[in-house]
Chains A and B, each alone.
Chain A
């Protein structure tokens, strides 16, 4: 297990190095001067510019410039936003938790709905239930998310009035930001209206999370269905039924775990897709997350913000990837040990 962890860690470090290399090189491709793009200081005086050039080592060759850039990132200095001249890293620290919260809740909803439905479809293979689930999943996959979001607001917030249409929590509640993740903050706070705040936050997150979850859930349905069909066709399932186990026992003791192993890695891959959907949805639901901020930065040609935002988001996605790898190893004894050529 230690070797497995070390492998994943080294993979993480090298991927992050590559990502920083990409975001560093992007500075030279954006219009304008590289040093301005890097630091975001558009209104710098000549003296400040000299200081910046010194800090980013622009007089030395490109390798040392990159090392200096890495040093800045490691120190948490991502430059200033070109549009607002505020510090990007503090903005990201304020905004990222909201996105993490939203995308994780959406992932949870997508998994809780998609995987069981896929299993049911596989068990009822080639029966009307299977066809129904498949066609619903096809429909869900083809609906564009911005349209679905608007439709959801129109139906559930405006016409029915069940859920609020925008924001993370009602302005009435004053919750001190400790971790940045709203639900944990609410539970940690000692406000007398803690549970009302919790309900309100749940109502706010429900609609955007569901809208985000639709497309990944349909993919999970298909993944779960194919992997379950594959598992049910293996000889160990046949041997288990020859052993005298009932169908229910076979499904719950043997089939589900083996089918989950096959899809857990795809879930990690789908997470990148989910975050992309979340960015669009954040704009529609005015969710104060990094996705909305990033899309606004793109509109404003805020190159420093775009570059750092992409770096942080891809780092987050990669961490989720590694976590799913660990879950995969925990479920699958074959992946844990040392294997040749792996």
Chain B
């Protein structure tokens, strides 16, 4: 059974004169104990998608989905309150810029202890505080912070970015979540710290069988840590499959370009020559192309691309393109005729 199953989730920005479709019918499914990467350029709507999952988007965003199942429960049938309590119990999220995500005026200890659910505590109310304190210390040890007293009494601005991110992870772990959504957890961090955070997440996945949705713009870096990858472009679903499929045999021209643009794929290039890139840049939300949003930049675009492609499934490797790169099946004749 899938842990998380989302079909055709759309997020709309409610605006005065026109509504903007920031995320357009994206599907995402996750299995228990899986590490899934969600990859896309900045502005591709991946953070929006994650925030919509946890339910922390504000009123100006309108979320709509055809199916939203969490461990077999149809969340669309529940009321907003029930959905929120269910999701906040089982899903935790860590954000980019950890420093900004901690209340600057409250000590770390207080912020960490309030994240601990009181249902985990036993005993009378006068013992609770002590228990909270000791479980906060345990959480800090779990994320690899040894000097817990100094950490608990300090304020966010007194810690480094990497330490703050560890504290955020500790807070996320406080509720013993089943799914952890990590939204660019290592943005603006040094390489060594990046490695530490990723190793911590990987060990949590292996030891506690916690599923992780890892959001990143860095396809190459993320492939070391993920089992499966979903690629998004400008709010549209592009491709999903196992890490090997995505990295070695991409079907979508965009994924191909993404893999090619990384320096390791260009090792054979002579020095000082240009890296492989797609022409143009990601469209802004006010001027989104119709149909396949990659269309104007795509090297394989044809007339059919003005209609949004439907998702085709090649043995679990899903791609949303009229003209995939190495089609295992023949593309349907009808589309080619239309294109010609």
Task: Give chain A's interface residues, CB within 8 Å of chain B.
Answer: 233-236, 238-245, 249, 253-254, 257-258, 261, 331-334
Contact = CB atoms under 8 A, between A and B. Distances in A.
B54 A242 contact: yes
A245 B56 CA distance: 11
28 contacts: A233-B58, A235-B97, A235-B101, A236-B100, A236-B102, A236-B104, A238-B95, A239-B93, A239-B102, A242-B54, A242-B88, A243-B88, A243-B114, A243-B171, A243-B172, A243-B175, A244-B115, A244-B175, A245-B114, A249-B114, A253-B106, A254-B103, A257-B105, A258-B105, A261-B105, A333-B104, A333-B157, A334-B105
Contacts of A245: 114-115
Contacts, number: 64
B95 A333 contact: no
Nearest to B115: A243
Contact of A332 (B95, B105, B174): B105
Interface in B92-112: 92-93, 95, 97, 100-106
A236 B88 contact: no
A235 B100 contact: yes
A23 to B, nearest CB: 40
Contacts of B172: 243
Interface string B30-65: 000000000000000000000100101010000000
Given A238-B56, A242-B56, A249-B114, A333 B102 contact: no
A233 B54 CA distance: 16
B175 A241 contact: no
A240 B156 CA distance: 14
Interface string B136-165: 000000000000000000010100000000
B84 to A, nearest CB: 9
Contacts of A234: 100
B67 interface: no
Given A236-B100, A243-B172, A331-B105, 13 more contacts: A235-B97, A236-B104, A238-B56, A238-B95, A241-B56, A242-B54, A242-B88, A242-B92, A244-B89, A254-B106, A257-B106, A258-B103, A334-B157
Nearest to B155: A333
B15 to A, nearest CB: 14
A282 B210 CA distance: 69
Contact of A239 (B95, B117, B174, B175): B95
B116 to A, nearest CB: 10
Contacts of A233: 58
Contacts of A241: 56
B157 A236 contact: no
B305 interface: no
Contacts of B246: none
Given A242-B93, A257-B106, A236 B101 contact: yes
B168 interface: yes
A230 to B, nearest CB: 13
Given A253-B114, A334-B157, A244 B88 contact: yes
Nearest to A336: B155
A236 B95 CA distance: 10
Most buried by B among A233, A332, A334: A334
Contacts of A238: 51, 56, 95, 101
A327 to B, nearest CB: 13
Interface string B109-127: 0000011010000000000
Contacts of B104: 236, 258, 333-334
A257 B155 CA distance: 14
B254 to A, nearest CB: 29
Contacts of A243: 88, 92, 114-115, 171-172, 174-175
